[in-house]
Amino acid sequence: MATEDHGHVPVMRDRMAELLAPAVEAFGDTAVIVDGTLGAGGHTEHFLEVFPNVRVIGVDRDPQALAIALNRLARFGDRFSSVQARFDRITEPIAAGVGPAFDAVRESGVAGALFDLGVSSMQLDQEERGFAYKVDAPLDMRMDPTTEVTAADILNTYSHGDIARILKTYGDERFAGKIASAVVKEREREPFSRSARLVELLYNTIPAASRRTGGHPAKRTFQALRVEVNRELEAVENAVPVITEMLGVGGRAVFMSYQSLEDKIVKSAFAELTTSKTPPGLPMDLPGTAPKFAAITHSAEKAPEAEIERNPRAAPVRVRGIEKLASTNDNQTEGQ
């Protein structure tokens, strides 16, 4: 299967298509899906196969991912277009894009959008990128290699307090302060450059009793460093208002989160968008206070057990989606 050949099994692939299908049908020949986290192109390939009239604009900050996806999706011709950008910075490149997909967005707005957050399986498999803790590699972790700060830079230059804060906030690491102290002490002897040395430090710092539970002792630290390097939570916070503004009426946006901090951001933003601003107790919404979006998922959806068995990466995913409603003010539509 193509997705397996590319080292990436799209999580909840069929369900993502189901959630976007009503919007694709409503937009007809002008339907454009924005895949904000293109990766190896697994979700996009499925959308292009199951929706014969849809066009997809794939977004990724990683030039290696874009090159792989472009090759994989070449058979779809101009039904697929790509943009290299962080997914919260897509407004300008899409507005200035050339081709039928970009023309359709300018005409009708975005029909559907998918954000499959976090690091992709493809990136984890590229050992030289430094995302994985099970192999010795440079401490890089940049999704966009043109950005400046690497994981090594964080370990070698951040203060004890900042390192501890990152590990605790982004990795939920119980021993954040203890690890930060060990890092500061060890970098005085020699700066950090490769992952194996960091993993060894973590084994020596985290108590043995704690190492025996909760998975690999380096998992939380590596996650925290990756989130900081790529400013991932900042991007998620910015992406919700960016993509909801780009949706046409009836357009849908779906976010797939793999850690609680991401899901908390999406949950809070969606709650704000789908809640009436009319004071409690009134029989109807006051002008301008009706919600502009409606939820299309009941709370956060999880992957079914059968899929988790086939694809363990699906285990932590939480899915939330919303749909843009028609404006009730002056019969004007929004986002078009």
Q: Same structural domain for residues 84 and 182?
A: no
For the chain, what is the total number of helices (H) and then of strands (E)? 16, 7
CATH code, 18: 3.40.50.150
How do residues 280-310 score in pLDDT, each as one tens digit?
Answer: 777 777 777 789 999 999 899 999 999 999 9
Q: Same structural domain for residues 109 and 249?
A: yes
pLDDT of residue 234: 94
pLDDT of residue 3: 37
Question: 3-state DSSP call for residue 333?
Answer: coil
pLDDT of residue 313: 86
Residue 80 has pLDDT above 70, yes or no: yes
Amino acid in the structure at residue 97: G
Distance CA 67, CA 278 (A): 48
Judge whether 333 lies within some domain.
no
Q: 160: which residues sit within 8 A by CB, 6+ positions away?
A: 180, 181, 184
Is residue 226 within 8 Å of 144, Cβ to Cβ? no
pLDDT of residue 8: 60
pLDDT of residue 288: 75
Is residue 261 within 8 Å of 170, Cβ to Cβ? yes
Q: Same structural domain for residues 75 and 135?
A: no
177 lies in which domain range? 126-230
Q: Which residue has the tokens 């604009």?
A: 57
Instruction: Point out the annotated binding site for S-adenosyl-L-methionine.
Output: 41-43, 60, 87, 116, 123
Q: Same structural domain for residues 89 and 140?
A: no
Instruction: Point out the annotated binding site.
Output: 41-43, 60, 87, 116, 123
Question: 3-state DSSP call for residue 309?
Answer: helix
Q: Of 230, 258, 280, which closes a domain?
A: 230
Is residue 224 within 8 Å of 173, Cβ to Cβ? yes
* Domains identified in the chain, total number: 2
Question: 3-state DSSP call for residue 301?
Answer: strand
